[in-house]
Amino acid sequence: MDATIEQLLPIFLSLLKDEFPDVRLNIISKFDQVNQVIRIDLLLQSLLPAIVELAEDRQWRVRLAIIEYIPLLACQLGVGFFDDKLGALCMQWLEDKVFSIRDAAANNLKRLAEEFGPEWAMQHIIPQGDTNQALIHIMARLLVHVPCHPEWNFISCFVFESLLKHVKKSNLLPRSKPCTCSYAFSCST
């Protein structure tokens, strides 16, 4: 098995640097299968620099493929690894010049908030809303799509208060769930 890994890893990494975007895109789309052959800890030593490099690829489809892989990687490696190694990268994608990239990055943060829980969202996403205008998009999604659950209603209050600074109430409230709106109003008054 070790000999297989020693031979596969260099090939895999060279394909990630191929000059043709379709090759890079196909390799990225198979990351989950590669994880089954090459242990994630070995793969990460080499893969993390490649992810960072591909995150700035000139082809937006390659960047999009990396973005779509991040939640799987974050779930496998845990919240600590994500915060240390990938969090800033995900925030950077929120300001990409391509809408599809910004939209996918916002969806990723929403999925990660659901995976890592409301406490993580409170500590890592919501505080950046005051300094990062691109986060307004994800914060609106968190508020509109938040489950009607007491923990998430608590988070909704902070999201709602932060959004009130940037968005007129009339634009946001018609799309919000009733339980979220009533709870958010009771928190902000």
Most confidently predicted of 12-21, 24-33, 133-142, 180-189: 12-21
Query: How many Cα atoms sit within 13 Å of 143 on the Cβ side?
Result: 29
Question: Residue 13 has what pLDDT?
Answer: 82
* Distance, CA of 76 to CA of 43 (rounded, Å): 12
With beta carbons less than 8 A apart as the criterion, state whether 177 and 144 touch: yes
Return the higher-pLDDT residue of 44 and 88.
88
Average pLDDT (176-187) is: 45
104 within some domain:
no
The encoded tokens of residue 97 equal: 């010049």
State which of 91, 109, 135 marks the end of a domain.
91
Instruction: Measure Cα distances from 185 to 123, 136, 189 in Å.
Output: 22, 19, 6
Question: Residue 90 has what pLDDT?
Answer: 86
Question: Residue 54 has what pLDDT?
Answer: 83
Question: Residue 48 has what pLDDT?
Answer: 80
pLDDT band at 45 (very low <50, low <70, confident <90, very high): confident
Tell me the per-residue pLDDT of 130-177, one tens digit each, with 9 for 90 and over. 555 556 656 655 555 555 555 555 555 555 555 555 555 445 455 544
Question: Residue 150 has what pLDDT?
Answer: 55
* Shared-domain flag, residues 83 and 132: no
Question: Residue 142 has what pLDDT?
Answer: 56
The encoded tokens of residue 65 equal: 């493929």
Question: Residue 183 has what pLDDT?
Answer: 43
Question: Residue 143 has what pLDDT?
Answer: 56
User: Which residue in 87, 95, 149 sits closest to 120, CA to CA?
Assistant: 87
With beta carbons less than 8 A apart as the criterion, state whether 143 and 176 touch: yes
Phi, psi at 120, each rounded to 5°: -65, -45
CATH number at residue 56: 1.25.10.10
Q: What is the CA radius of gyration of the chain?
A: 19
Average pLDDT (44-61) is: 83
Domain count within the chain? 2
111 within some domain:
no
Task: Please give the residue range of the domain that contains residue 137.
Answer: 117-189
Tell me the per-residue pLDDT of 84-128, one tens digit each, with 9 for 90 and over. 888 888 888 888 899 899 889 888 888 888 888 877 877 877 666
